[in-house]
Homo-oligomer: A and B are copies of this chain.
Amino acid sequence: MPSKVAEGQQRGWIVPIGGAEDKEANPKVLKRFLDVCGGSDADIVVIPTASRLVETGTQYDRLFRQLGARDVEILDFDTRRDCEEENRLKRIERATGVFFTGGNQLRLSTTIGGTPVAKLIRVRNAQGMTVGGTSAGAGILSEHMIAFGQEGSSPTASSVRLAPGLGLTNRFIIDQHFRQRDRLGRLVAAMAYNPFAVGIGLDEDTAAFIAPDNTLEVEGSGAVTVVDAGGLQFSSMAQVAENEPVCLLGLTVHILTAGATFNLHTRKASAGTLSPRKS
């Protein structure tokens, strides 16, 4: 569960990114992430645990410095013991943002899940620190994460497996590389398990910037598909066999592009800055 936000404080930004964000020509997603970490005051801890490639962390270190961060540090949590280490926890205490790289989501959740570092990141987010991640690093942010799933547009009962994530919020479930890997079916199946949450499908090079007030705004070159099962009229989830398709009636779907918003409280979508100007 998310840490409680203390009176007089406000929660920090939560920034899931769909993977493959532009790092060269037009890095507007990473630039805006830096902005919500404090801009030129940003002090970002990069956690490359999901990745097996040694260069993953250093790449983001270089990028955030180029974009103008005051300080960046790579903290590698390779074992659960690393996740209790006092110095690393202290480093996070003074960061203004934490960034999880892509890689293997289950490596991330099995290494840091339930450890002091996971708890600290929840507490710090509740105190105002920004937390974001790309690809696997985006999937981990919520209470429920999609651990496995089949590709394909139509949901089946077996098309998705949920696992506990970092738990910064329980209001949404994230899926990444959404358009590129055809994942509507598994996101919809995840909603069928828990219509309370909102499904968020992130295209590559596209992010949902979730403000302290739980209004999400899109940034990047693709779309964010919001699947809202709050008005669900019927689900056959409980009565179908594993590989049978699931019948779901009454889903609301919004396809948001850069500038459009969705409020996770009221479940209202808005064209935001895309609205035609009034004459």
Residues of A within 8 A of B (CB): 151-155, 178-180, 182-185, 188, 201, 203, 221-223, 225, 227, 233-234, 236, 239-240, 244-257, 260, 269-271, 274-276
Contacts and interface: CB of A to CB of B under 8 A. Distances in A.
Given A178-B153, A182-B182, A269-B233, A222 B251 contact: no
A178 B203 contact: no
Contacts of A223: 154-155, 245-247
Given A153-B225, A201-B153, A254 B245 contact: no
Contact of A256 (B153, B225, B249, B276): B249
Given A152-B182, A234-B271, A236-B257, 17 more contacts: A153-B153, A153-B179, A153-B182, A153-B203, A153-B225, A188-B255, A203-B245, A227-B253, A233-B269, A234-B270, A247-B260, A247-B274, A248-B254, A248-B255, A249-B254, A249-B255, A251-B254
27 contacts: A151-B182, A152-B182, A153-B184, A154-B223, A154-B225, A155-B223, A184-B184, A188-B255, A233-B269, A234-B269, A234-B271, A234-B275, A236-B274, A239-B276, A240-B257, A245-B255, A247-B255, A247-B256, A247-B271, A248-B254, A249-B255, A250-B252, A251-B252, A251-B253, A251-B254, A252-B252, A252-B253
A217 to B, nearest CB: 12
A153 B188 CA distance: 13
Contacts of A185: 179
Contacts of A253: 227, 251-253
